[in-house]
Amino acid sequence: MTIGLAERVIALKPSASIVARQKVTELQAAGKTIIDLTIGEPDLDTPAHIIEAAISAARGGDTHYTVPMGTPALRKAIVQKLKNDNALEYGLNEVIVGVGAKQLIYEAFAATLNEGDEVIVPAPYWVSYPDIATIHGGKPVIAECPETDGFKLTPQSLKEAITARTKWLVLNSPNNPTGAIYSREELSALAEVLREARHVWVMTDEIYEHLTYEGKALSLGEVAPDLKDRLLIVNGVSKAYAMTGWRIGYAAGPAALIAAMNKLIGQNTSCASSVSQAAAAAALNGDQACVAEAAETFRKRRDRMFELLDGTPGMKLRKPDGAFYFYPSVEGLIGKSTPDGRVLKSDLDVALYLLESAHVAVLDGSAYGMSPYLRMSFGGALEDIEAGCRAVRKSCEALV
């Protein structure tokens, strides 16, 4: 006899990036050499001073439960970070720590969504936004942001997406998968629409905040401080400090929402790791030179990937302003035939062809809500980027 699974779990799609990573791992375990351009994390090591802080905390006996919302030391560091970097004032009761930024998105939706509430998700989007909304009874409303608009939500598109049932708008800048960053003027224009729709809350995912190459990434709260009472900022230490495995995210928002999220965390994970929280506090409080160095490393990788892929037959790409992904159009490859006679009918077909012929793993744009595109990461080692791009180009040139 098998247990009956909940309908919400049956309907839930697995994370595309996690599935891709699992597939790459399986192929590598089978002895195949695969160049992985799907990775959603830096290949850099966590800076030494952060690791030393974790070791010191563990040796000092800081190995016990913390309160669900996070240690006072880490929350103070978050409050100071928001003040220094974003000119935003928050109290300790308005910030919360989670097991990664993803948990805080999950808890925010769990705390606020009722059946049928709508969540506006601009596309292309990070793969988990729609599914996390759906699992909590929400209805994702996908607002397409074409490349002609810089892959960014326009005020008109936002107006058209808002209904009486809208509960949240999700804004991700710098964006995964496109690297797009909203300017001050663009955020101001969106804020004008939101001022008219007073029932709409805004979740800003700012996890790639410091990985920018063409100017600073601004928080909506900086541009429109009057919206702060219905704004939830989600961020973390994973990307900027190469701390993905430490699993520390944080959020800042109105005290009542933070209290509700705190209640939920208390009933599921209890708290984030105490040692990881000590490390995160050291990251936020310490010398930020490591963040600038990481951004410069990724800038060089971005420029090299562009150099190697620019002019690839059937592929059109633009340099991302932030994060560490290219999102090239492969419209020119659709309808082409592989050397063995198969016709490529979708970006998924293109991704599978590159895996088979070039032994390069990339992600199809359909997973991110917009086709025909691919997501290609430059988060990995430069030698892998160079080898992968050359192999991709060669495979594209082989199509007829």
Mean pLDDT, the chain, whole residue set:
95
Structure tokens at 238: 């994973």
Domain end point (choices 287, 320, 354): 287
- The verdict on residue 1 lying in a domain is no
Are residues 259 and 302 both part of a single domain? no
Residues 218-238: tens digit of each pLDDT: 999 999 999 999 999 999 999
> How far is the C-alpha of 385 from the C-alpha of 302, rounded, in Å?
9
- What is the per-residue pLDDT for 18? 67
Q: What is the CATH number of the domain that holds 228?
A: 3.40.640.10
On the question of pLDDT at 22 being above 80, the answer is no
Residues 62-108: tens digit of each pLDDT: 999 999 999 999 999 999 999 999 999 999 999 999 999 999 999 99
Q: 170 pairs with which residues across the strands? A: 203
Are residues 266 and 379 both part of a single domain? no
Are residues 199 and 115 both part of a single domain? yes
- Report the amino acid identity of residue 264: L
Residues 23-36: tens digit of each pLDDT: 777 877 888 889 99
Are residues 33 and 82 both part of a single domain? no
- The verdict on residue 326 lying in a domain is yes
- The verdict on residue 23 lying in a domain is yes
Quick one: CA dihedral 9, 10, 16, 20, positive or negative?
Answer: positive
Are residues 335 and 270 both part of a single domain? no
Domain end point (choices 272, 287, 302): 287
Based on the structure, what is the number of domains in the chain? Answer: 2
Helical residues (DSSP H) of 197-248, grouped into ranges: 220-223
- The verdict on residue 349 lying in a domain is yes
Are residues 298 and 315 both part of a single domain? yes
Q: 143 pairs with which residues across the strands? A: 122
Q: What is the CATH number of the domain that holds 380?
A: 3.90.1150.10
- What is the per-residue pLDDT for 20? 66
Are residues 278 and 303 both part of a single domain? no
Are residues 348 and 203 both part of a single domain? no
- Say what percent of the chain tops pLDDT 70: 98
Are residues 313 and 344 both part of a single domain? yes
- What is the per-residue pLDDT for 7? 82
- What is the per-residue pLDDT for 21? 65
The secondary structure of 153-167 as a DSSP string is --HHHHHHH--TTEE
Tell the residue number behind the tokens 């309808």, with chain if given: 335
Domain end point (choices 287, 304, 319): 287
Are residues 281 and 315 both part of a single domain? no
Q: For residue 130, give its domain range.
A: 48-287
- What is the per-residue pLDDT for 10? 79
On the question of pLDDT at 241 being above 90, the answer is yes
- What is the per-residue pLDDT for 88? 97
- State the pTM of this model: 0.94
Residues 162-204: tens digit of each pLDDT: 999 999 999 999 999 999 999 999 999 999 999 999 999 999 9
Q: What is the mean pLDDT of residues 369-398?
A: 98
On the question of pLDDT at 258 being above 70, the answer is yes
- What is the per-residue pLDDT for 16? 63
Q: How many residues does the chain have?
A: 400
- The verdict on residue 60 lying in a domain is yes
> How far is the C-alpha of 65 from the C-alpha of 158, rounded, in Å?
42
- What is the per-residue pLDDT for 17? 61
Are residues 327 and 259 both part of a single domain? no
- The verdict on residue 280 lying in a domain is yes
- The verdict on residue 2 lying in a domain is no
On the question of pLDDT at 14 being above 90, the answer is no
Residues 101-160: tens digit of each pLDDT: 999 999 999 999 999 999 999 999 999 999 999 999 999 999 999 999 999 999 999 999
- The verdict on residue 191 lying in a domain is yes
Look at residues 66, 53, 52 and name the one whose alpha carbon lies nearest to residue 274: 66
Are residues 24 and 134 both part of a single domain? no
- What is the per-residue pLDDT for 378? 98
